[in-house]
Every structure is written in C-alpha cells, then in structure tokens.
Structure 1
C-alpha cells in the first residue's frame, strides 16, 4: 500500500537517526544537532530550539522550530548500535594486526578492492590508510626493538645477553605499539581498521547481533508508524548507518506498512554501501537495495559530496552494486555541494579534515543550496515534497561494476 501523503504542512515529525560505525554515546549527536542547528538557524533566519526528551524509551531529543512561518515539533531518536561497535573494537594490538591481514585478504582475493577503485578514489584511500599506517607503526616498533637488541649485543655474547636482547627488543616494540594506539583518537588507524574489519568479517553478511538489532529497529519503526501521531516518520542513515537503514526499511516493507500511516521517508547521507555490497556474501544487502529501489511507498534521497573523501560520492548505491533493473525509481542521488555551500574560508579550514567533513551533512552551511539538514528534519515539508522536483545529479555514477550480484540471502 502507499503511504498517505499529508494534505497540510508537517506539524509533527519523528526522526530516527541511524549512526555509522561509531563507539560513542548518542549524546554526541544531540549536542552536534544543538550547536549546529543553532548556527544554521542564525545563518538562515529561522527559529530552532532543542531540549532533552523525557518520558520515552530510547535516546533522543525534542526540537521546536518555526521555518517559513510554520511551527513544527520534531521528536528525534537515535537507533543505537554503538554497543556492537564497541564490542567489535575491544581487541588487542595483535588481534588488530590479524584483522588487518584477514580483511586485506578478503577485499583483495574477492576482487572487491579492484572494483571499488573504479568508483571513487577517496573511500578506497581511506580504506588503505589504516593498513598503511598500522604497517608503518609496526615497522617503526620492530626497528626500535631491533636497534636496542643490537646495542645490547655489543656488550657481549652468551645466553644471558641473547635473552636480554629478545626481552628488551620485544618489550620496546610492544611499548611503542601501545603508545601509537593511545594516539588513535588523532590518527584513527585502529578505528578505521576495526570499521572495515567489521564489514568484512563475514564477507558482507550481517553478524547475528547486527541482524537482531535490525529486527529491533524495524519493530521500533513499525510501532511509530502504527501510532499515527505525526505527519512524517523520517529515517536518516549516515555512513554505515545508510545500509543498515536500507535493510531496516526493506524488512518493514516485507511486514507491510500499517493502514493510514504517516508518510515514511528515507534520507541516506555520506553512504559507504559499496564497501559491503561488493563483498561476496552481501546477498541480503543487495536484495534489500533492489527492493528499496523499486518500491513506491518510501521516497529515498541519497546525499553525498565529492568533498567527502570517506563516502562514495554521487555513486548510485543500487546501480553500481549491479542490482538495478528497469523498474528502479530510487534513490535520487544528488550532492550537498560542500564547495558551494561553505564559504571559501570555511572550506579552506575543513578541506583537509577528512573525518570532520564526513559529518558535514549533519552540520551548518554558510550558504546552503537545496540541502539543509535542519530544514529537512525540523521543517514543514516532508522529504518527498521538499525534493519532488529534484533531478538526480547528472554527474552521478551508475555503471554497474560489482562482480557479485546475487540477491538470495544465505
């Protein structure tokens, strides 16, 4: 059935935000929305206020806005999977290097790496960055250990010296590696390695704990739709949260949407879908991509930007994954146009801060064009109404390059 389109401006909305691979507490997103929303409201001349949400399950916040003269109340809820992320990151240094070997082998042996390189260079470089940096750290640590062992060797020979050389050499290398790991809040090598390892662990198949969380998210959305208390339910998936959102909404469609439910919309931001969809066992995700691309109930808009080196910018996630058919209608792919929407000074400040730019979709723009995260999430138009005349970007990539196109879940 079709979601019923509202006959009047949106007065009430529920937003369900699915983060990417992020181990932090969801209050991080509340404070980001608070500060950046206040700044965007100042720049764009509308009113927006945020307060903590009370008396409800889950973690979220309440937004009151007046945009284009229309008052709107929005309830935000973060669909949390950060505990799964933290568990996947709770590994030793040795285990991380074993992950590096296994993950590199999966992407290389499957051919996924070479095909991803035919899309955008940025996310592939981002994927190779932790491999390169972790190997450099290992070589420096081993070099230090070997150097100290050599110095000890100049003191003499014999079993005691040899034992001391081994102990001192290995100990120094281990201490330096620990030091490098403590700096990872600035280097992001371990963080990114764990991210790619998590996606590749089952060669694109969801881990059981993630499948269980997707089922929980689906139930949460179904309950919100059945309540019928708002004009729009908007799902926002950022980074890895985009492909989780695809599967949640596909599962929801399998169950069937409630009668007379609010408009249901999907906004994917900074997506990295090909990193998973190009793996051999990602049949479930490819099926969900195809079904979401052909359905009529949920308008889906995909926003990226060439300035974001961590996303597959302007890559149609369905088409490049090789599962698009003639019936494809979604997503509408377009750019947030960082270089045009940020002032020259602001762009110069941010353009080398790659990780920060990956979150720019959730932040204020000096001169937003037709993408304004806060008007989308707190304004009086549904996502479909806002972009009903928006044509896809003519520079988007739609050529199928994926080797694996099966859509039957294992």
Structure 2
C-alpha cells in the first residue's frame, strides 16, 4: 500500500473534450514533472468507473504516493449545448447578452475585476466589428470598379470568409458559447440533466469521504468551479454539514462571479449563502493575467459578509516558474493562460498540477511551501 494515498475528484470546464483529452494532458504533464525533477512519476491507463466517471492513477514511487483520480464527466452535456450553427449562435448570444446587460451588477463586477468584464464583452463586439470593418474596406475598394450593391455584397462575403478563421483563432465562438451557457444557467429554470448529473457527482464524492485516504480533493477548473457551488451544497446536505478534516475544495481559474453577479441568479445566491455557513477548506488558485477568471475573489463574500469556510486566495505566479521565452503572456495567449493551471512550467512549483498530484503531503503543506518562495 502507498505511504500517502490521495483521492481527487475533478470537474472540468465548458469543454466538449472529455476524459481522453484530460488523461493525455495529465500524462504529458506528469511525464514533464518526472523529467524536470528526476522523480519517476507516472499515470496509469484510463478505466471506466461508472456511467459518468473515468478513473486513473497517478503514482510517485520516490515518495510512495498514490493519487486515485476520478474525472467526473459532463462533457456530453457540453456537446449537447455546443451551438454549431453560426445563425443559432448569433440568436442565442443576442438573447444572452440582453440578459447580461439587464441583470448584471456592473458595479460589483468592475470592483471584482475588469479583465473578466472585457472577456465577457469582447467576443460579441469583435464578432460584429471585424466583419463590418472588413466589409466596408473590401466593399469600398471594390466599388471603384463595380456597382455599389455588388461591391458591398462581395465585401460582405469576403469579410465573413476572412473573419471566421480569425475569430476562431481568438476563441470568440467558444467564448460566446460559454457565456450563452452560463447566462441560461443563471436566469432560467434549472436544467434537469445538469441537476441529475450533480446529484450523481455528489453521491460519488460522499462515498469516498469516510474511506481511508490521507487527503481528498474536489478539484475544479473554469466553468467547473461554477458547478462546484451547487455540487458542494449537495455534498454538505448529504453529510449533515460534517466534512472530514482531510477534504479540500480546490478551484482553478474560477469564474463564479459570472453567475453570482447576476441579480436574477437568486437560487445560485442562496447556494452561495449556504456554502458561507459551512466549515470546510477551500483553496483558490487564480492568475491575474487570466482574463477568463477572477483573481483574489472570494465568491461567497458577494452575498455573505463573513463566510465561514477557511479559504486561501492564491496567485500561481506563473512568471516565476516559466522561462521568459515559454511564459504565456499577452492577449494572444489568453486561452493558454487559462489552461496553465493544469500544466507544469519550466521549474517545479508547489502548486502546479503534477506537484499537487504527486506530493507526499496534504495541500496545506504545499500552500505553506509556496508562500515561503
């Protein structure tokens, strides 16, 4: 038996890629950890552990560590919600942004972080402004030789053909789908499929809480952190608010205020208030350059003045652990920055993904080491 046994439940973001992609990413990063540290860490093959769960093991023989990793799947729900038609995406985005403008608490949003607000509104602005600008330029040039109506029709077609790959490169369609999904999650009625899936996840987590683990982590990334709020409420209800001392909720790149700052998200506010009364450990890791996440924001404090959970708000300080030539920075790398939480840099950080998964100690010791750097 391993000297240190860890159980991790992972809830990912709004991503149609499933367990196969994230298993490959974990294997790649753990192999990188082994190469950079000299510790022979490895990732086992995937194994199906339930209708909505895929497991694998992460081993570090140097320190006799075994991490049993459970990928809690909701990527099938994402694929159903993935709007493929550009016309349907435009219509749904129009409704979603009308709701954001009507219900978003902009003052609170600006106070918590301007970066995510820019990320919220640049996809629709860019998706309109870029084709319009190109239409005017190309149509205006073509009008020198052709009738105006013909010239601008040609300009419009050319603008769409040029804009589409550029918008995709800048991840504007993905962000539009992400914001549409969360807008509908905020103000509409509860989605029965998501509610049932969260019930399933809660049962999976609760089944492990009294087992013989040295550490239990609920790890969430991006949109998964929004789902962690109703998920934790379910776990607390099933446990009678009694969480084991070896349990920690870890959120990476959380975007919870995207929903919490909606005035019409009353049920979500109630769930945040419910979390604020509970006693459990919460570690948030958010990078200031990550425009899709809220750095240093305790989401419970949006609706509860004195939240009870023991929460650390940490920046991963990626710039300290990457070489300048490999560090993801600038607007062109916003998408990559948002996934750096699940990677390892050029040097080991106590809070990088493979280090957290292979450490022969609980996360509080890793946080303490990180703070000492």
1:27 equivalent to 2:28? Answer no
Q: 1:234 & 1:257 partners in 2: Cα distance?
A: 19
Q: Normalised by the size of structure 1, how large is the TM-score?
A: 0.78
Alignment partner, residue 54 of structure 1: 47
Q: RMSD of the alignment, in Å?
A: 3.3
Alignment partner, residue 64 of structure 2: 71
Q: 2:156 & 2:80 partners in 1: Cα distance?
A: 26
Offset of residue 145 of structure 1: 9.9
The answer to which structure, 1 or 2, has the higher relative contact order (CA under 8 A, 6+ apart) is 1
Alignment equivalent of 1:316, drawn from 281, 295, 298: 298
Alignment partner, residue 169 of structure 2: 186
1:16 and 1:204, CA in 2 relative to 1: closer, same or farther beyond 3 A? farther
Alignment equivalent of 2:31, drawn from 31, 35, 38: 38
User: Aligned runs of 1:187-206 on 2, under 5 Å?
Assistant: 187-204=170-187, 206=190
Contact kept? 1:203, 1:281, Cα under 8 Å: yes
Alignment equivalent of 1:300, drawn from 257, 261, 282: 282
Secondary structure of the residue aligned to 1:309 is coil
Q: Deviations over 1:294-347 (max 9, x none)?
A: 422x3111111112222111122222x23232x523321111112223233322
Offset of residue 176 of structure 1: 5.6
Q: 2:147 & 2:63 partners in 1: Cα distance?
A: 80
1:383 and 1:247, CA in 2 relative to 1: closer, same or farther beyond 3 A? farther
| Bigger Cα displacement from structure 2, 270-279 vs 374-383 | 374-383
1:290 equivalent to 2:273? Answer yes
Q: 1:339 & 1:332 partners in 2: Cα distance?
A: 20
Q: 2:276 & 2:32 partners in 1: Cα distance?
A: 35
Offset of residue 385 of structure 1: 5.0
Alignment equivalent of 1:121, drawn from 114, 117, 125: 114
Q: Deviations over 1:250-289 (max 9, x none)?
A: 2111011699978322100010010011112323333333
Q: Deviations over 1:169-211 (max 9, x none)?
A: 7798468647744665423111100101111125345433222
Contact kept? 2:136, 2:155, Cα under 8 Å: no
Q: 2:370 & 2:232 partners in 1: Cα distance?
A: 22
Q: 1:221 & 1:125 partners in 2: Cα distance?
A: 35
Alignment partner, residue 399 of structure 1: none
Alignment partner, residue 11 of structure 1: 4
Q: Which runs of 5+ in 1 are unaligned?
A: 1-8, 156-161, 392-410
Contact kept? 1:25, 1:82, Cα under 8 Å: yes
Q: Normalised by the size of structure 2, how large is the TM-score?
A: 0.85
Q: 1:286 & 1:260 partners in 2: Cα distance?
A: 22
Q: 2:253 & 2:128 partners in 1: Cα distance?
A: 28
1:231 equivalent to 2:214? Answer yes
Offset of residue 381 of structure 1: 1.7
| Bigger Cα displacement from structure 2, 179-188 vs 107-116 | 179-188
1:202 and 1:18, CA in 2 relative to 1: closer, same or farther beyond 3 A? closer
Offset of residue 11 of structure 1: 2.3
Contact kept? 1:304, 1:311, Cα under 8 Å: yes
Contact kept? 1:108, 1:114, Cα under 8 Å: no
User: Aligned runs of 1:46-195 on 2, under 5 Å?
Assistant: 46-54=39-47, 56-57=49-50, 58-66=53-61, 69-139=62-132, 143=136, 154=147, 173=156, 177=160, 180-181=163-164, 185-195=168-178
User: Aligned runs of 1:327-346 on 2, under 5 Å?
Assistant: 328-346=308-326
Secondary structure of the residue aligned to 1:215 is helix
1:177 and 1:330, CA in 2 relative to 1: closer, same or farther beyond 3 A? farther
Please say which structure displays the higher CA radius of gyration: 1
Alignment partner, residue 214 of structure 1: 198
Secondary structure of the residue aligned to 2:219 is strand
The total of aligned residue pairs comes to 367
Q: Which runs of 5+ in 2 are unaligned?
A: none
